[in-house]
Chain A
Amino acid sequence: MAGLNKLVGSYDEALAGLSDNMTVMVGGFGLCGIPEGLIAQMVKMGPTGLTAISNNAGVDDFGLGLLLKSRQISTMIASYVGENATFEQQMLSGELNVILTPQGTLAEKIRAGGAGIPAFFTATGYGTPVAEGKETREIEGRHYVLEPALTADFALVRAWKADTMGNLVFRKTAANFNPMMATAGKITVVEAEHIVQPGELDPDHIHTPGIYVDRVIQGTFEKRIEQRTVKTAAN
């Protein structure tokens, strides 16, 4: 019996059950905080027709860009997709369906999905193309758009530290969409930089409690930097 031990020993086990036409959430902001090994495993397993929910689409040869190149994604829900030429090409040819979603609305849709809230009103996007076809309501003199929640068949999350029970700690701005996505997957898989035993993480410092997490795998990360900016003598 595994009990509450969620540690798996291979990427095949980590994504067992992933198949065509599923919806997959992938954590990260740009290339920061992405579950690199789990993305590579999706490419290896080769399911197609995927709906991918992620703030960005990676770059041509890294992150979700790899899944675009292999043409496994048919619908992409994201807030900003500017850094990826493969993406542009597939979007313009109509091969890829893109649902652009304001970043805060995207974060809240995922948070709501994980928290059992089916939809919420937000002022974001009112009077813009984002609100087209959606219910709107005036509340105390202000206009709001009804935004439905998002959940996924798989949520792929990158954590800094995980214990074997799936309690998670994120690091710096690598947290971004990972904490909400961890709550919104039918199966939540965490790729962690460090795996520790239960009790080693201070319960006061846990960002995501293990109840949301189904599988944990030890990852190794390239941590590629998208915009390498450093201080020069001049500034």
Chain B
Amino acid sequence: MALSREQLAQRVSQELQDGFYVNLGIGIPTLVANYIPDGMEVMLQSENGLLGMGEFPTEETIDADLINAGKQTVTAVAGASFFSSAESFAMIRGGHVDLTVLGAFEVDVNGSIASWMIPGKLIKGMGGAMDLVAGADNIIVTMMHADKYGNSKLLPVCELPLTGYGCIKRVLTDLAFLEIKDGAFHLLERAPGVSVEEIVEKTAGKLVVPEHVPEMMF
């Protein structure tokens, strides 16, 4: 079975470490916050100027001056800080964020990512995505392995305009967890019940398959 949105978030959460500063993108990455293991201390960075993002507020505590990068009202945890956008991207560009999780339309065997623009369709802008992929060393991309027609989104070369060139090393799809190195996707894990054959069939870029591919554990 392909992973659900919640399972994608849950699998990413296994990569968290105690003491990490983490930036979660909009969509599935945001859900990772729901799966931070008990007893682990993780600070969430929101690029609009918040380190230490907490849960949604109540009707009583809602504050128009306190939002996340998705423009949702949020709260701040004990130990949080607020700062300008320039300071926020100094953290990101300067490599101070331990883990960045974001979505993508396509990735390729060179670690390039396309996530912000589909020519001919409406262009909404890249927001902070280009800075995040350029600044972070430890990035996990969460995405669908193929479109609904079965066309692979893991490609020899990205076809859409890039968000970043050669900057992605790990990809979690609904079918598999993969590492990108030496010009190829390396299959690390497969989703429970998903065959290696299906992953091979739906991966257009060069794929290296080891003898044994473990199933993800939840």
Q: CB within 8 Å of B: which residues of A?
A: 29-33, 55, 78-83, 88, 91-92, 100, 102-108, 110-111, 122-130, 143, 160, 170-180, 207, 223-231, 235
Contact A82 B124 (CB under 8 A): yes
9 smallest beta-carbon distances between A and B, as pairs: A127-B165, A104-B89, A104-B131, A82-B124, A80-B125, A223-B64, A107-B85, A102-B130, A103-B128
Contacts of B126 in A (CB 8 A): 79-80, 100, 102-103, 130
B50 contacts A by Cβ under 8 Å:
yes
Contacts of A78 in B (CB 8 A): 125
B151 contacts A by Cβ under 8 Å:
no
Contact B134 A124 (CB under 8 A): yes
B161 partner, pick from A55, A92, A128, A228, beta carbons under 8 A: A128
Nearest CB of chain B from residue A182's CB, rounded to whole Å: 10
B125 partner, pick from A100, A105, A170, A180, beta carbons under 8 A: A100
B192 contacts A by Cβ under 8 Å:
no
Contact A81 B125 (CB under 8 A): yes
B34 nearest CB neighbor, chain A only: A235
Nearest CB of chain A from residue B109's CB, rounded to whole Å: 15
A183 nearest CB neighbor, chain B only: B86
Contacts of A104 in B (CB 8 A): 47, 85, 88-89, 92-93, 128, 130-131, 135
B83 contacts A by Cβ under 8 Å:
yes
Given contacts A105-B89, A176-B84, A226-B71, 18 further A-B contacts (CB under 8 A): A32-B48, A79-B127, A102-B128, A102-B129, A103-B85, A103-B126, A103-B128, A104-B92, A104-B131, A107-B88, A127-B166, A128-B165, A129-B117, A174-B65, A180-B84, A225-B62, A226-B67, A235-B56
Report the separation of the CA atoms of residues A226 and B73 in the bound assembly, to the nearest whole angstrom: 8
A-B contact pairs, 16 of them (CB 8 A): A79-B125, A80-B125, A82-B125, A83-B71, A103-B126, A105-B130, A123-B93, A124-B134, A173-B65, A207-B84, A223-B65, A225-B73, A227-B71, A228-B73, A230-B73, A231-B58
Contact A127 B65 (CB under 8 A): no
Contact B67 A129 (CB under 8 A): no
A32 partner, pick from B34, B67, B88, B163, beta carbons under 8 A: B67
Main SS at interface, chain B: loop
Contacts of B86 in A (CB 8 A): 107-108, 110-111, 179-180
Contacts of B85 in A (CB 8 A): 29, 55, 103-104, 106-107, 176-177, 180
Contact A229 B72 (CB under 8 A): yes
Report the separation of the CA atoms of residues A80 and B122 in the bound assembly, to the nearest whole angstrom: 12
Which of A88, A122, A229 counts the most chain B CB atoms within 10 A? A229
Contacts of B93 in A (CB 8 A): 104, 108, 122-124
